[in-house]
Every structure is written in structure tokens, then in C-alpha cells.
Amino acid sequence: MSRAAFIIAGLSGALAVAIGAWLAHAGAGLDNTAQARMETALRYQVWHSLLLAGLAVALAHRPTRPLRLAALACTAGLLLFSGSLYLLALLGWPALTWLTPFGGLAFITAWLALAWHGFAPGRSAS
């Protein structure tokens, strides 16, 4: 699981940089709504790619059920939240908007699973 999390975090981070560069240079032709959606998707993608990288490190050190859940939920959030917003902004498919809240719930689940890991007995703050 740690290896997969490292790979997904690295690919997601690289994709975020590429999308950010495209948005800064070629994305000026997007309307304001599409550009705002792209920026929101990009912001969440960057932060959650970093979260996933941290989870990969933690999983490599001590794989636990909450950390595995957090990594899976974070990956799902990246796909559902950021992915649906990118597609909505670029293709204008309103049918995709129902996926976005599920991605947000997946992100929340990832953060709560990380907290669960911290609350579990036998874990120290060090």
C-alpha cells in the first residue's frame, strides 16, 4: 500500500504542476466559472497529493488500518473531487457534478482516518 501511495502521490503532484502551468498560460481562454473550478480542483489536488505523500511515509513506517483507509480515501477524493471539477470545467458536462461531493466526503474521510490513527491506543506523539 505504501508503494502505491508514493506512486499516486508523485503522479498526482506532477499532474497538478502540469495543470497549473497550463492554466497559467493556455487557460486564460476559459470563462470565469470554468477557471474558478479549475483553480479549486488544482488547490485541492496539490494539498491532498501532499497528504497522500505523508501517508505513504507513515504507511512505510507503520502500516495500520486507519492509514490504509486514509490513503484509499485520499486517492478516491483526488479522482472524484478534482477529477470531476476538471472535467466539468473543460468539457462542461453538468452530469458530473454529482461526483464532486462524494470526492469531498472522501477527503474528509481521509483526514478523519488520520485522526483515528492518532487516537488509537499504543501510539505516542513522538
The tens digit of pLDDT for each residue in 52-69 reads 999 999 999 999 999 999
pTM of the model: 0.91
**Strand residue runs (E) in the chain:** none
The three cell numbers of residue 70 are: 486514509
Q: Tens place of pLDDT for every residue, the chain, 126 residues?
A: 789 999 999 999 999 999 999 999 988 888 999 999 999 999 999 999 999 999 999 999 999 999 999 999 999 999 999 999 999 999 988 888 899 999 999 999 999 999 999 997 765 554
